[in-house]
Homo-oligomer: A and B are copies of this chain.
Amino acid sequence: MAFHKKEEFTQKEQDLANFAKAMSHPARIAILKVLAHRNECICGEIVDILPLAQSTVSQHLKELKNAGLINGTVDGPRSCYCINWKAFEKFNSEFTSLFNNLKVKNEKACC
């Protein structure tokens, strides 16, 4: 990278990119899926489900948490995670506002 130019873009562009980056690995998609399909929060069950080592899963969880996609609370020796729905709503609205307004008129563009 020589010197990351990411700062040269707008904050919104960076935010969207960061959100996307958090979801840019199948393991993290799988984690989100597990979390989304439970009413209760999960802990290490994710480790059993995913084909990854415990430390790797922990790292993915940390990244999802850093990106704000999930919330996590430490409960003694075990941790509890769940989806941060507000973050997804924010992403969804920013994502669609970027594209959806223009979709109709551009549908039959040149290429």
Contact = CB atoms under 8 A, between A and B. Distances in A.
Nearest to A73: B111
B17 A111 contact: no
A106 B28 contact: no
A23 B12 CA distance: 13
A47 interface: no
B72 A111 contact: yes
A105 B39 contact: yes
Copies in the complex: 2
Interface in A65-108: 71-73, 80-83, 85, 88, 92, 95-96, 98-99, 102-103, 105-107
The secondary structure that dominates the A interface is helix
- Interface size on A, as a range, is 35 or more
Interface in A7-30: 8-10, 13-14, 16-18, 20-30
A111 B41 contact: yes
A23 B17 CA distance: 6
A45 interface: no
Given A51-B5, A80-B110, A98 B41 contact: no
